[in-house]
Chain A
Amino acid sequence: MNLVTPSNGQFMVAGYVVAGIVYFGYTVLLLRRQRALDRRWRALPAPPAPPSAPPPPAAAA
């Protein structure tokens, strides 16, 4: 039986391009969301500094 393989490479390309856009797009979106979260963290006021330690005793003369 002679079998003629259809030439439908454009559908293969379309499928891979669409999948690439979705996966890569989501990865970029995730990283951008993470970066926006980092910016919000940095905008938080810094916690109060711990009380400073007493100065070391002067060395005995």
Chain B
Amino acid sequence: MSISTPSARPARTIDGLLLAGLFAVAGAVTRAIWFTPVEARQGLAQKIFYIHVPSAFIALYVAFGLLAVSSALYLWLRDPRLDRMAESAAEVGLVYMSVVLLTGPIWGKTVWGTWWTWDARLTLTLFLWFVVLGLLLLRQSIDERSMRARYSAVLGLLAAILVPFIHISVYLFRTLHPRPIVLKPSAPSLPGSMLTTLLISIAAFLLLFVGLMRVRYRYATQRDELLAAEGTE
């Protein structure tokens, strides 16, 4: 691994992609709140859908997908860049998952009449959140770099295995959580304007994810270089 000297490091600027992601999310939220029809039965609370679903989609399929792929590749290739990628995907994915777990109950209270229920979809999602949190805490507790990377890669793979179970849990068990209305074999069951807003929201939150990942990955790289330069690792 190359070690940069302090003088060789580039000057710090705010990441353009992160800024673009924040603006895109602000635009998507504006469209969702003011320019998308109100769902007749659920009222305004249904608009939580436009942040809850994109956050869940990106956390489960993008962030934890990336976590699984980079963890598996790390176990094969032992490249520290893959470990940093897995670490970054786990942390940013956990943030997205936290939004899912916080906005879901707020929406659920208006539709189901309860904040939380221990059904399969919700319980598995909470369990996955704790597994990924455990992965990040495990990383803090192991000093030896290769052992830390190996253990967290195994845990990252185990966490990602939960994702398909979470997806199909609404088909396998009786649950309050609705079945997918977009990611399903048949056509999406949403009116056109709502579907457009949902797709715009997914694109915006994806852009924010890429921006956050870039900043987080660069942080991990520079931290490792600093530890090497300080001679502490």
Min Cβ gap B105→A in Å is 9
Interface 1/0s, chain B 17-56, versus A by CB < 8 A?
0100010010001000100001011111111100110010
Judge whether B103 is part of the interface by a CB distance below 8 angstroms: yes
Judge whether B106 is part of the interface by a CB distance below 8 angstroms: yes
Q: Which residues of B contact A7 (CB under 8 A)?
A: 43-44
Q: Which residues of B contact A23 (CB under 8 A)?
A: 25, 95, 99, 208
Question: A8, A24, A30: which contacts B43 (Cβ < 8 A)?
Answer: A8
Q: Which residues of B contact A31 (CB under 8 A)?
A: 14, 215
Q: Which residues of B contact A3 (CB under 8 A)?
A: 40-41
Known interface pairs A19-B103, A30-B212. Does A9 touch B226 (Cβ–Cβ under 8 Å)? no
Determine if A15 and B106 form an interchain contact, defined as CB atoms under 8 angstroms apart: yes
Min Cβ gap B101→A in Å is 10
Determine if A19 and B33 form an interchain contact, defined as CB atoms under 8 angstroms apart: no
Question: B5, B12, B18, B219: which contacts A27 (Cβ < 8 A)?
Answer: B18
Determine if B109 and A11 form an interchain contact, defined as CB atoms under 8 angstroms apart: yes
Determine if A12 and B12 form an interchain contact, defined as CB atoms under 8 angstroms apart: no
Question: A12, A18, A19, A26: which contacts B44 (Cβ < 8 A)?
Answer: A12
Min Cβ gap A45→B in Å is 9
Determine if B45 and A19 form an interchain contact, defined as CB atoms under 8 angstroms apart: no
Q: How far apart are the CA atoms of A15 and B54 in the complex, in Å?
A: 14
Q: Which of B34-86 contact A (CB under 8 A)?
A: 38, 40-48, 51-52, 55
> What class of interface size applies to chain A in its complex with B?
20 to 34
Determine if B215 and A30 form an interchain contact, defined as CB atoms under 8 angstroms apart: yes
Determine if A41 and B95 form an interchain contact, defined as CB atoms under 8 angstroms apart: no
Q: Which residues of B contact A22 (CB under 8 A)?
A: 95, 98-99, 102
Known interface pairs A11-B107, A33-B219. Does A38 touch B41 (Cβ–Cβ under 8 Å)? no
Determine if B18 and A11 form an interchain contact, defined as CB atoms under 8 angstroms apart: no
Q: How far apart are the CA atoms of A42 and B6 in the complex, in Å?
A: 6
Known interface pairs A23-B208, A46-B6. Does A41 touch B107 (Cβ–Cβ under 8 Å)? no
Q: How far apart are the CA atoms of A15 and B208 in the complex, in Å?
A: 18
Judge whether B222 is part of the interface by a CB distance below 8 angstroms: yes
Q: Which residues of A contact B230 (CB under 8 A)?
A: 40, 44
Question: Of all chain A residues, which has the CB nearest B108?
Answer: A11
Q: Which of A33, A40, A46 has the most CB of B within 10 A?
A: A40
24 A–B contact pairs at CB < 8 A? A3-B41, A5-B38, A5-B40, A6-B42, A8-B44, A9-B43, A11-B48, A12-B46, A15-B45, A15-B51, A22-B98, A23-B208, A27-B18, A30-B212, A30-B215, A30-B219, A34-B215, A34-B222, A35-B12, A38-B12, A40-B230, A42-B6, A44-B229, A46-B7
Q: Using CB atoms and an 8 Å cutoff, list the residues of chain A in contact with chain B.
A: 3, 5-9, 11-12, 14-16, 18-19, 22-24, 26-27, 30-31, 33-35, 37-38, 40-42, 44, 46-47
